[in-house]
A = this chain, B = another copy of it.
Amino acid sequence: MKSYKDLSREELLQLHARLEEEYKDAKSKGLKLDMSRGKPAPSQLDVEMDIMDVMTSSSDYKTETGMDCRNYGIVDGIPEAKKLMAEMMGVADANNVIVCGNASLTIMYDTISRSMTHGVLGSTPWCKLDKVKFLCPSPGYDRHFSITEHFGIEMIIVPMTPQGPDMDMVEELVSTDSAVKGIWCVPKYSNPQGYSYSDETIRRFAALKPAAEDFRIFWDNAYAIHHLYDDVQDVILDIISECEKAGNPNMVYEFASTSKVSFPGAGIAAIASSKENLDDMLKSMTMQTIGYDKINQMRHVRYFKNLGGLTEHMKKHANIMRPKFETVLKILESELGGLGIAQWTMPKGGYFISLDAMDGCAKKIVAKCKEAGVVLTGAGATFPYGNDPKDSNIRIAPTFPSLEELTEAANLFVLCVKLVSAESLLQSYSN
Known: A71-B40, A117-B117, A147-B287. A101 touches B265 (CB 8 A): no
Q: Which residues of B contact A294 (CB under 8 A)?
A: 265-266
Instruction: From the candidates B56, B58, B101, B291, name the one contacting A293 in the complex (CB within 8 A).
Output: B101
Instruction: From the candidates B39, B52, B264, B287, name the one contacting A55 in the complex (CB within 8 A).
Output: B52
Q: Is A288 positioned at the interface, with any CB of B under 8 Å from its CB?
A: yes
Q: Which residues of B contact A73 (CB under 8 A)?
A: 265
Contact: A266 with B70, CB < 8 Å?
yes
Known: A150-B284, A288-B106. A70 touches B263 (CB 8 A): yes
Instruction: From the candidates B105, B288, B295, name the one contacting A263 in the complex (CB within 8 A).
Output: B295
Q: Which residues of B contact A266 (CB under 8 A)?
A: 69-70, 293-296
Q: Is A28 positioned at the interface, with any CB of B under 8 Å from its CB?
A: no
Task: Tell me the complex Cα distance, A131–B270, Å.
Answer: 35
**Which of A108-116, A178-186, A190-198 lies at the binding interface?**
A108-116
Which residue of chain B is the closest to A71 with respect to CB atoms? Answer: B264
Q: Which residues of B contact A56 (CB under 8 A)?
A: 52-53, 56
Q: Is A346 positioned at the interface, with any CB of B under 8 Å from its CB?
A: no
**A206: shortest Cβ distance to chain B, in Å?**
29
Q: Is A151 positioned at the interface, with any CB of B under 8 Å from its CB?
A: yes
Which residues of chain A in 87-137 are interfacial with respect to chain B, using CB atoms and an 8 Å cutoff?
101-103, 105-106, 109-110, 113-114, 116-118, 125, 127-128
Known: A72-B37, A125-B127, A127-B127. A290 touches B263 (CB 8 A): no
Which residue of chain B is the closest to A78 with respect to CB atoms? Answer: B265
Q: Is A68 positioned at the interface, with any CB of B under 8 Å from its CB?
A: yes
Which residue of chain B is the closest to A295 with respect to CB atoms? Answer: B266
Q: Which residues of B contact A42 (CB under 8 A)?
A: 68, 71
Instruction: From the candidates B50, B57, B72, B288, name the one contacting A265 in the complex (CB within 8 A).
Output: B72
Known: A40-B71, A57-B49, A70-B45. A265 touches B293 (CB 8 A): yes
Which residue of chain B is the closest to A264 with respect to CB atoms? Answer: B72
Q: Which residues of B contact A52 (CB under 8 A)?
A: 55-57, 59, 295
Instruction: From the candidates B50, B58, B150, B259, name the one contacting A287 in the complex (CB within 8 A).
Output: B150
Contact: B103 with A290, CB < 8 Å?
yes
Q: Which residues of B contact A109 (CB under 8 A)?
A: 287-289
Q: Which residues of B contact A71 (CB under 8 A)?
A: 39-40, 42, 45, 263-265
Which residues of chain A in 11-65 are interfacial with respect to chain B, using CB atoms and an 8 Å cutoff?
37, 39-40, 42, 45, 49-53, 55-59, 61
**A355: shortest Cβ distance to chain B, in Å?**
23
Q: Is A146 positioned at the interface, with any CB of B under 8 Å from its CB?
A: yes
Q: Which residues of B contact A40 (CB under 8 A)?
A: 71
Contact: B45 with A68, CB < 8 Å?
yes
Chain A 151-182: CB-based contact to B (< 8 A → 1; otherwise 0): 10000000000000000000000000000000
Other A-B contacts than A45-B61, A53-B56, A106-B289, 17 sampled, CB-CB below 8 A, are A39-B71, A45-B68, A51-B57, A52-B55, A52-B59, A53-B57, A69-B265, A70-B264, A71-B265, A72-B264, A72-B265, A103-B288, A103-B291, A150-B284, A263-B295, A265-B294, A293-B293
> Which residues from chain A sit less than 8 Å from chain B, CB to CB?
37, 39-40, 42, 45, 49-53, 55-59, 61, 68-73, 101-103, 105-106, 109-110, 113-114, 116-118, 125, 127-128, 143, 146-147, 150-151, 259, 263-266, 283-284, 287-296
